[in-house]
Amino acid sequence: MLVHGITESRRSWDPLLERLASSHDVIAVDLRGHGESEAMGPYDVITLASDVHEVVEALRIEKPLLIGHSLGGTVASVYAAMYPCRGVVNIDQPMRLGDFQTSLRPIESMLRGDDEAFQQAMTIVFESMRGRVDDEEWKRLATLRRADHEVVLSIWAAVLEAEAEDLEAMVTSLASAIAVPYLSLHGTNPGEGYEDWLSNLVSGARIEQWEGAGHYPHLVEPERFFDLLAEFEASLER
């Protein structure tokens, strides 16, 4: 089960689909307010994870392996805290959301401004994380992005509006409920002490960091990603 990042769509996984589908049943979803899905609130991550679970139930999948990128990494993590699954692969979404809150503060006024300011803020966010994505792939990803002002602010509301202590308590509660194998892959630095922090919350969590890859390590180094995924999947219980 593939879950994309904020403003993007299931098509962000296109370069990987043929290879994945050669050995797996693959479902890629458009989260509400993204891609071809309807823009209909609420957009909190619990609702988004519940939407994914509705797809899983409709397709009669017993225990999916969830792979989420960016926002999708959070959605996959929340899913694992709420519903049965085989495991989670979280691509470049640090779960220590207090750090994310801090990173958004300098552009918060732009995010809450008019649409022009909001779009500029989103460009700043994505350009800062581009890493080694080549021009052709960056152009493809840009055409997929649907940066809806209301949708983004609603998804980020908990991060932008919560007190730091409340945000930490929420993350701790959710992460502590994850009881399946968990792989956290980062192409950007998740922050000092992140590995110890995550391991203390999610028992047996594995953290990989690919220096300089940027926010899309799975697209920058697909063969390396497939190898990592195969290794992780081989360790899961059937």
Q: Do strands 65-69 and 87-91 pair parallel, antiparallel, or not at all (unpaired)?
A: parallel
Tokens linked to 118: 């909001």
Nearest to 39 by CA among 152, 159, 121: 152
How does pLDDT run across 156-178, given as a tens digit for each residue? 999 999 998 999 999 999 999 99
pLDDT digits over 26-85, tens only?
A: 999 999 999 999 999 999 999 999 999 999 999 999 999 999 999 999 999 999 999 999
Q: Is the pLDDT of residue 237 over 90?
A: no
Q: How far, in Å, are 19, 35, 108, 142, 214 from residue 123 at the CA level?
A: 30, 18, 13, 10, 15
Task: Give the rounded percent of residues in the chain with a pLDDT score beyond 70.
Answer: 99
Q: How does the average pLDDT of the chain come out, rounded? A: 96
In this prediction, residue 204 carries a pLDDT of 86
For 187, other C-beta atoms within 10 Å of its C-beta total: 25
Average pLDDT of span 130-145:
96
Residue at 69: amino acid letter: H
Q: What percent of the chain has pLDDT over 90?
A: 97
Helix axes 71-82, 164-176, angle to 10 degrees: 60
Q: Please list, in sequence order, all residues whose beta carbon lies within 8 angstroms of the beta carbon of residue 124, skipping any fewer than 6 positions away.
A: 107, 110
Task: Kindly state which CATH superfamily the domain 2-234 is placed in.
Answer: Alpha/Beta hydrolase fold, catalytic domain (3.40.50.1820)
Q: What is the pLDDT of residue 231?
A: 96
User: Is residue 238 over pLDDT 80?
Assistant: no
Handedness of CA 228, 206, 178, 9 (dihedral sign): negative
Distance CA 147, CA 12 (A): 14
Q: What is the pLDDT of residue 85?
A: 97
Phi and psi at 89, nearest 5°, equal: -115, 115
